[in-house]
Chains A and B, each alone.
Chain A
Amino acid sequence: MAQTQLAILLTSVALVVIGLYAAIFVDNIIKKIIGISFIEEGANLFIVAIGYKAGGVVPILMPGMDTSWFASNAAYPLPFGLVLTSIVIGASTLAVMLALVMVLYRRYGTLSTKVMLADTSKQEEYNE
């Protein structure tokens, strides 16, 4: 395995772990969401790293290229296509989450998760 690829994989693992840490231990909801989006980025980075090929070429077959040389030297294009889709989904999820946070911030006036997303089952059950 090329050292570049190893470095990318380690980075993606670090991103996922940082994200999980933030999900548990950070109280500010915006920071928590940023942390959680790290997990998504870590997964994306990992999939990009699968397609990496040390010394490879861009996977576009140009006229005049030898097909067998191209097949053995081009990077694997499928992961790049997948990651593109995944990034779009991640962005829309992030947008919806932040929109919900905006609504809730107006209602509670705070960004603390402990206040905003606390247990609500008791409060609503027996209100006269």
Chain B
Amino acid sequence: MNELIPLMVIVPLIAALLISAFSKFNKVTKIFAFVVAICLPLIPLLSNYGLHYFGGYEPILDNVTSFVYHPAITYSFTFLQQIFIAMIGLLTFLVIFVYLTKYKEVSGPYLFLLFLGTAAVTAMLLTDDIFHMFVFFEILALAQVGIVAASSIDYSYEMALKYMILGSIGSPIMLLGIGFLLALTGSVNVTDIATAVHNGLVDATSPVFLTSLGLIFFGWLYASGLPPFHTIKSGIYSKAEPHGAALLQSFTVISMISIVLIMHRIYSTLPIFEVLIVFFSILAMILGVSMALTQTDFRRMIGFLAVGELGFIGLGIGLGTNYAITAGLFQALNEIIITALLFIGFGAIVNATNEVDTRKLGGLLAYHPKVSLMLLIAGLAMAGVPPLSGFQSKLMLVQASLNCGFPEISILAIMVSIATFVVFVKTFYVMFLRPKPKELEVEGKEVPRAMIFAMGILLILVIGLGLFPDVVVNGISSFVGGIL
């Protein structure tokens, strides 16, 4: 049933348009959004692997050069796409569930933005066409800005505008890089470009080809929030509503891996490609975690931590062996789950206390024992404590860098994990364990059941992936074997 492949993008897009058009019927909108949100994780799980050619234009065999050309926009759907799309679908479902139960009157435009973002990242993962990816990358940026601007947190408009201005530097530069590739190869299909590069039709050492790598790489830095964009990325996480931030970080991770996999397929012959990725990943790890240690706003702190963890993904892909890339992609999956859990959990604390400054919090363990326990486990998972999922992927990364002959990177990765652990111990102590400050008024509000439910599901995934990593790792490993 390959007809299901385009539906993964079409269903959230149509739902987004319908919801924003008929948002005045509150009850119908709620039910419709809920039903579509349930469908999102189910479609990729039910669909078969395969390719989909839009418009039915099958690949053409050139008899002279015996290369295959792809005239249509192609979607390719394999195990990697399946697992990531199912995860983003599940996350969208949980976020929409939290949102629908939180407010009586739902906002149609906000649901529109959530569905639009999901559709955009799904298309970015599926597509085999670099320009198609760029278009959805821009749509994703618009959805992200909307989600940030829709929150009621102070200075959210300012942060949204800053993100947008930086985005309108980052994306045209990426477009320019795509233009360079188009000028060199005459195609925007990634498979065609990769064939042309690997068969010597394009001079891989020409400055134009190298510059196109530099330009697309800069766009990737913006998409994934690696330095110099780590401040704005952590900023928009802290300015969105907590459930929105949980979705925003997953958008970032997915756009990061989808662009970097495309870049890897085109530029993997160049040694400089791996050097660039490793350099910026190390920078992200160092800057992200050291900034997280000094934050007093805990939303901002998780934002910086999320950026620091992105460095691990980049590291895995930059090392370039099968094992390392598998580890990086597995780390990406873990990070989506763990960071979402953290954002939703800390969102529950904001909900209960209306306070984000760690200096004014304390003694919350007595008031919210369930939330604090789940947050502790999530924090330990992010720091890489066994037997949780973060431990498995980080262990793989450390081993991979040792195998590649970079013991320094292994030590660095372990140090970053320890620093992450310090951040969590410090924050957990300050927020939950130390005596409650007198001025802090913990309102008698219960944490919404939907939030506990969402956190519970994510927690089961964290523990399950920690105990049985092979469920995912084997599939990812065979996918990576296919692209190398």
- Which of A85, A93, A117, A125 is within 8 Å of B168, CB to CB? A93
Across the interface, do B182 and A33 meet the contact criterion of CB distance under 8 Å?
Answer: no
Task: Say yes or no for B214: interface residue by CB 8 A criterion.
Answer: no
Task: Say yes or no for A2: interface residue by CB 8 A criterion.
Answer: no
Task: Say yes or no for A124: interface residue by CB 8 A criterion.
Answer: yes
Across the interface, do A89 and B139 meet the contact criterion of CB distance under 8 Å?
Answer: yes
Known: A46-B179, A79-B182, A86-B175. A104 touches B157 (CB 8 A): yes
Across the interface, do A93 and B175 meet the contact criterion of CB distance under 8 Å?
Answer: no
Task: Say yes or no for B374: interface residue by CB 8 A criterion.
Answer: no
Known: A36-B169, A40-B168. A126 touches B357 (CB 8 A): yes
- Which of A40, A76, A124 is within 8 Å of B154, CB to CB? A124
What residue in chain B is nearest A50 (Cβ atoms)?
B183
List B residues 128-173 near A (Cβ within 8 Å): 131, 134-135, 138-139, 141-142, 145-146, 149, 154-155, 157-162, 164-165, 167-169, 171-173
What residue in chain A is nearest B164 (Cβ atoms)?
A97
Known: A20-B169, A121-B297, A121-B300. A96 touches B145 (CB 8 A): yes
Known: A42-B172, A50-B182. A117 touches B161 (CB 8 A): yes
Task: Say yes or no for B319: interface residue by CB 8 A criterion.
Answer: no
Across the interface, do A93 and B138 meet the contact criterion of CB distance under 8 Å?
Answer: yes
Instruction: List residues of chain B with CB within 8 A of the CB of A89.
Output: 135, 138-139
Q: Say what secondary structure dominates the interface of chain A.
A: helix
Across the interface, do A92 and B173 meet the contact criterion of CB distance under 8 Å?
Answer: no
Instruction: List residues of chain A with CB within 8 A of the CB of B300.
Output: 121
Known: A39-B172, A46-B176. A93 touches B164 (CB 8 A): yes
Known: A93-B138, A125-B297. A47 touches B179 (CB 8 A): yes
Task: Say yes or no for B119: interface residue by CB 8 A criterion.
Answer: no
Instruction: List residues of chain A with CB within 8 A of the CB of B160.
Output: 100
A94–B141 CA distance with the chains assembled, in angstroms? 12
Across the interface, do A116 and B158 meet the contact criterion of CB distance under 8 Å?
Answer: yes
Across the interface, do A97 and B161 meet the contact criterion of CB distance under 8 Å?
Answer: yes
Known: A78-B182, A93-B168. A16 touches B176 (CB 8 A): yes
Across the interface, do A100 and B182 meet the contact criterion of CB distance under 8 Å?
Answer: no
A 95-128 binary contact with B (CB < 8 Å = 1; else 0): 0110011011001000000001100110011100
Taking residues whose C-beta sits less than 8 angstroms from the other chain, chain A's interface range is 35 or more
A116–B359 CA distance with the chains assembled, in angstroms? 28
List B residues 80-129 near A (Cβ within 8 Å): none
Instruction: List residues of chain B with CB within 8 A of the CB of A78.
Output: 182, 186, 188
A 53-84 binary contact with B (CB < 8 Å = 1; else 0): 00000000000000000000000101100100
Across the interface, do B357 and A100 meet the contact criterion of CB distance under 8 Å?
Answer: no
A57–B475 CA distance with the chains assembled, in angstroms? 50
Known: A40-B168, A43-B172, A93-B138. A100 touches B179 (CB 8 A): no
A78–B266 CA distance with the chains assembled, in angstroms? 20
Instruction: Tell me the minimal C-beta distance from A53 to chain B in angstroms.
Output: 12
Instruction: List residues of chain A with CB within 8 A of the CB of B359.
Output: 126
Task: Say yes or no for A8: interface residue by CB 8 A criterion.
Answer: no
A52–B20 CA distance with the chains assembled, in angstroms? 41
Instruction: Tell me the minimal C-beta distance from A95 to chain B in angstroms.
Output: 10
Instruction: Tell me the minimal C-beta distance from B303 to chain A in angstroms.
Output: 11
What residue in chain B is nearest A113 (Cβ atoms)?
B165
- Which of B142, B162, B173 is within 8 Å of A93, CB to CB? B142
- Which of B138, B155, B167, B182 is within 8 Å of A47, CB to CB? B182
Known: A125-B357, A126-B357. A96 touches B135 (CB 8 A): no
Footprint of A on B, CB under 8 Å?
A: 131, 134-135, 138-139, 141-142, 145-146, 149, 154-155, 157-162, 164-165, 167-169, 171-173, 175-176, 179, 182-183, 186, 188, 296-297, 300, 357, 359
Q: Other than the known A93-B138, A93-B168, A96-B164, what 11 A-B pairs have Cβ atoms closer than 8 Å?
A: A43-B179, A46-B176, A86-B135, A89-B135, A89-B138, A89-B139, A93-B142, A93-B164, A100-B145, A103-B157, A117-B161
Footprint of B on A, CB under 8 Å?
A: 16, 19-20, 23, 32-33, 36-37, 39-40, 42-44, 46-47, 50, 76, 78-79, 82, 85-86, 89-90, 92-94, 96-97, 100-101, 103-104, 107, 116-117, 120-121, 124-126
| Interface pairs A-B: 4 shortest CB-CB | A43-B172, A47-B179, A100-B161, A43-B175
> What are some 22 contacts across the A-B interface (CB < 8 A)?
A23-B169, A32-B165, A33-B165, A36-B168, A40-B172, A42-B172, A43-B175, A43-B179, A47-B182, A50-B183, A86-B135, A89-B139, A92-B142, A93-B168, A100-B157, A104-B161, A107-B157, A117-B158, A117-B162, A121-B297, A124-B154, A126-B357
